[in-house]
Amino acid sequence: MLLLNAQDIRDCTDIKELLAVLARDYRASARTPDKVPPRHVIEHPAHKAFSLFMPAVLTDRKVMGVKVSSFFPGNVNRGLPAINGAVLLLDSCTGQLQAMLDSCALTALRTAAMSALATDRLCPIAQPTLAIIGAGVQAKAHIEAMAAIRTLRRVKVVARDLDRCHAFAVSMSEQIGVPVEAVKSVKQALLDADIVCTTTSHDKPSPLVHPHQLKRGVHINAIGGSTLQACEVDPCLLSQALIHVDDPQAAMHESGEISQALARSLITSEQVVGLEVALREPALPWQAATSYFRCVGHASQDMIVAMHLYTTALERQLGQRCDYFLSSMKNLT
């Protein structure tokens, strides 16, 4: 079994290569119940947290595995990551455990890559201004992913902790070679933004992003606020937008702004379109309208990314080998 930690995953990652793999395989991924069952969610009300159990078998790609991931927002106050877990990759022919990957690093990479895929298709602007709400792991991953597909003009970041936000902005500016500015309000961040990424742990129904704050033709990637009560984006905005999601059924039942927009008849279920539609060739003609992508996560995406990282790690001789389970079996015989 190969163990891949966060640093191994970073060393394996070529974002443009990963985007090509995801685009190819995501178009082909079947969402049939026998291959990708609905994920099982266990809530932890006392901690305002939840755990996800997400199995998948992608027959055509000979990929099988399960992701176990927990989101505990209170961990930030403990100096711990909010997202923790592991992805177990299994041999589809023998069922043997091939690899165990850090779920936090993989989730950040996968989510940002899906946002980049959506942005690449839905936002034609070559030198956009990027607004990021949040200054955590997902914010960093999204800036890196957006910088990989576009020549960013500037980046504006807003977060609850202004000092932390300033430090984050300085670090990211040095990394990507583009001006990254920490601003004091969401309104300032959204001003003149061409691309908006909401990467928060927002858990309230009061939206962070309102239609009047945005210019026409903006593209929004919404990936935080992962409860039915939470709205990062005003549901009213969805009635004016082209809506794409990674998994329509999950998005309609798990995204606060989408479920509320449906309940208020602001949109219909037919308007909640899978991203594979936008990924089809030829590319869809761009319309000067707001576009919105909601990523709730899907096990097929995790397994595609996990297999790509595993294959790359083998080629580059990265990670640590662990034969503990095999050794235990030998001791029994």
Q: How many other C-beta atoms are found inside a 10 Å radius of the C-beta of residue 257?
A: 29
Query: What is the per-residue pLDDT across 127-177, written as a single tens digit (0 to 9) for each?
Result: 999 999 999 999 999 999 999 999 999 999 999 999 999 999 999 999 999
Q: 49 - beta bridge partners?
A: 44
Can you read off the two tokens belonging to residue 136? Answer: 């955590």
Within a domain: 44: yes
Inside any domain, residue 235: yes
pLDDT of residue 87: 97
Give the pLDDT confidence score for residue 278 in this predicted structure.
Answer: 83
Per-residue pLDDT, 332: 45
One domain for residues 227 and 267: yes
Is the domain of 84 the same as that of 131?
A: no
Q: What residues have CB less than 8 Å from 219, skipping those under 6 apart? A: 118, 119, 122, 123, 194, 195, 196, 290, 291, 292, 293
Tokens of 217: 């033709």
Residue 86 located in a structural domain: yes
For residue 304, give every residue at least 6 positions away whose Cβ sits within 8 Å of its Cβ, in sequence order, or none: 21, 22, 25, 26, 29, 58, 61, 63
Instruction: Decide: 185 and 159 in contact? Cβ < 8 Å.
Output: no
- What region, left, alpha or beta, does residue 79 occupy, with left being phi > 0 and alpha being psi -120 to 50 degrees? left
Name the strands in the sheet holding 83-90, side by side, starting at the edge strand that comes first in the sequence: 40-44, 49-58, 63-71, 83-90, 97-102, 2-4, 320-321
Tell me, yes or no, whether 270 and 146 share the same domain.
yes
Q: Which domain range does residue 83 map to?
A: 2-106+299-321
CA distance 273 to 244: 5
By C-alpha distance, which of 258, 281, 279 is closest to 269? Answer: 258
Half-sphere exposure for 34 (CA within 13 Å, toward CB)? 1
Supply angle C-alpha 238, 263, 272, rounded to 5.
Answer: 45
Number of domains the chain is built from: 2
CATH number of residue 52's parent domain: 3.30.1780.10
Q: Helix crossing, 137-149 with 103-122: angle to 10°?
A: 40
Backbone φ, ψ for residue 51 (5° rounding):
-125, 140
Q: What is the dihedral of CA 56, 58, 64, 70, to 10 degrees?
A: -30
Q: How many other C-beta atoms can be found within 10 angstroms of the C-beta atom of residue 178?
A: 16
CATH number at residue 171: 3.40.50.720
Residue 333 lies in a domain: no
| Residues 100, 124 within the same domain | no
**Shared domain check, 305 and 220:** no
What pLDDT, on a 0 to 100 scale, did the predictor assign at position 316?
Answer: 95
Task: Tell me, yes or no, whether 57 and 81 share the same domain.
Answer: yes
Instruction: Judge if 246 and 312 occupy the same domain.
Output: no
Q: Are residues 190 and 85 in the same domain?
A: no
Q: Tell me, yes or no, whether 95 lies in a domain.
A: yes
First to last CA, the chain: 20
Give 240: exposed, middle or buried? Use CB within 10 Å, 0-12, 13-18, 19+: middle
Q: Please state, in angstroms and rounded to a whole number, the distance separating the CA atoms of residues 15 and 305.
A: 11
Which residues, in sequence order, are CB contacts of 282 under 8 Å at separation 6+? none
pLDDT, tens digit only, all 333 positions of the chain = 999 999 999 999 999 999 999 988 876 654 444 588 888 889 999 998 889 999 999 887 889 999 999 989 888 889 888 889 999 999 999 999 999 999 999 999 999 999 999 999 999 899 999 999 999 999 999 999 999 999 999 999 999 999 999 999 999 999 999 999 999 999 999 999 999 999 998 888 899 999 999 998 999 999 998 778 889 999 999 999 999 999 898 899 889 999 999 999 999 999 999 998 888 755 555 566 899 999 998 888 999 999 999 999 999 999 999 887 666 545 544
- Token pair, residue 103, equals 């779920």
| pLDDT reported for residue 59 | 82
Q: Is residue 327 part of a domain?
A: no
Q: Classify 65 as helix, strand or coil.
A: strand
Q: What is the DSSP letter of 209?
A: B
Per the domain annotation, does 112 fall within a domain? yes
Are 97 and 164 found together in one domain? no
Residue 1: count other Cβ atoms within 10 Å of its Cβ.
17
Rounded to whole angstroms, the Cα distance separating 149 from 118 reads 11
Residue 29, pLDDT score? 59
Same domain, 119 and 90: no
Q: How many CB atoms lie within 10 A of CB 111?
A: 28
Q: What are phi and psi of 65, to 5 degrees?
A: 180, -175
Residues in a beta bridge with 222: 198, 294
Helices (H) and strands (E) in the chain, counts: 12, 15
Say what the pTM is: 0.90
In a domain, 114, yes or no: yes
Task: Let me know whether 30 and 97 are in one domain.
Answer: yes
If asked whether residues 97 and 133 sit together in one domain, one would say: no
